Amino acid sequence: MILVSPTGVRVSHHGRVLVIEHQSRIRVDGAPLRFASSPVIRSTDASLRLTHFQTTPDSENAKSDVDPSIVKITATIITFNEADNIRAACESVAWADEVIVVDSESTDGTGEIARDYGARVIVRAWPGFAAQKQFAAQTARHEWVFSLDADERVSTELRAAIEALRASDEAQLADAYRIARRSFYMGRWIRGGGWYPDYQLRFYRRDRGRWQGAHVHESIRMDAGTRVEVLSGDILHFSVRDAAHHHRMIGERYAPLAARQMFEQGRRATPLGIAMAAPAAFTRSFLLKGGFRDGLAGLCIARFAAHHAFLKHALLWEMQKKNVER
């Protein structure tokens, strides 16, 4: 037994992963399963067991169960040492017709865990956020791609909205959909500080757009003339474990990468700019964007935003000074 999922029951049978999405739809390792006899489901508080059934292995029979009118979706996740997150992330997109995990040579068993949950795992050296996500999209078997980060989950409302689209006339669909992202921080869901709704374009036709972004803040750039709409429901974000983790993320990843990106874009720091960056960021987050509504959590978010702004400008100053010395 593996576990009971809120989005579908996952069990094991002779080493294969079975996903029970609803009474009439069961998949094995991502492929439709045709039953020669009805399965009997026995349940306990912790697991479900399928017993007394036979399967028909004929691939043609499996193909006949696929409804061609349903929009097919590939869910993509990029990872590096995400063993603590990948289980829940794969569960969250178990409804997709295909799940691809592009793993950047993890050493904590991330890939093995993803395979156990039925994902197609591709190991690839790290080229950057945008390049890795673009590779994942290009590898997908289906035109429609849903991109999820390992520390994100699909809310019940969002899944319902996607399922409604799948059953719609594909000709009537937009080319891409923006989705609100809600972050969980210091024991609460954040409403202000610029953290919500934090719209992300994550569900799209892969032939109409491409991922871009040199170092941080990667995003999808859609082709001219494409139609983009907003989808109801939220992506649930669990990126920050605690204050110490937040501080490390800024110092070790986001500020250095942001400084590098600013330098490559030709931006330069000044002493006055460095001095003003932190108070400006704090004011914007806590006051102008309503961070005060989130109490202590909002205060911490604003304070860390100020630290990030100060540090990235200070690092940019160091980069440009080193460049002049050369």
Rounded Cα gap, residues 134 and 78, in angstroms = 10
Q: How much is the pLDDT for 40?
A: 36
Q: Contact, 100 vs 77, CB < 8 A?
A: yes
Determine contact, residues 213/129, Cβ cutoff 8 Å.
Answer: yes
- Contact call for residues 290 and 192 (beta carbons, < 8 A): yes
Question: N- to C-terminal Cα distance for the chain?
Answer: 61
pLDDT of the residue at 67: 60
- Say whether pLDDT at 302 is over 60: yes
The mean pLDDT of 271-287, rounded to a whole number, is: 98
The C-alpha atoms of residue 200 and residue 178 are separated, in whole angstroms, by 5
To the question of domain 73-237 being in CATH 3.90.550.10, the answer is: yes
- Calculate mean pLDDT across residues 271-289: 98
Q: Give me the mean pLDDT over the 104-115 stretch.
A: 97
pLDDT tens track for 164-220: 999 999 999 999 999 999 999 999 999 999 999 999 999 999 999 999 987 778 999
Residue with tokens 């017993």: 51
Tell me the C-alpha distance between 59 and 13, whole Å: 19
Which pLDDT does position 41 carry in this prediction? Answer: 36
| Residue of 325, 281, 273 lying closest to 303 (CA atoms) | 281
89, 218, 300 from 254: Cα distances, Å = 23, 12, 17
Cα dihedral angle (305, 308, 312, 314), rounded to 10 degrees? 100
The pLDDT, as a whole number, for residue 14 is: 40
Query: What pLDDT shows up at residue 109?
Result: 97
pLDDT for res 213: 84
| pLDDT for the residue numbered 69 | 61
Positions of CATH 3.90.550.10 in the chain: 73-237
19 with 27: CB under 8 angstroms?
A: yes
pLDDT at residue 204, as a whole number: 98
Band of the pLDDT at 223, cuts 50, 70, 90? very high
172 touches 143 (CB < 8 A): no
Is the distance from CB of 77 to CB of 150 less than 8 angstroms? yes
Render the burial of 210-248: b for 16+ CB within 10 Å, e for the rest: bbebebbebebebeeeeeeeebebbbbbbbbeeeeebee
Task: Give the pLDDT mean for 4-19.
Answer: 44
pTM of the model: 0.77
Question: Residue 57: its pLDDT value, please?
Answer: 40
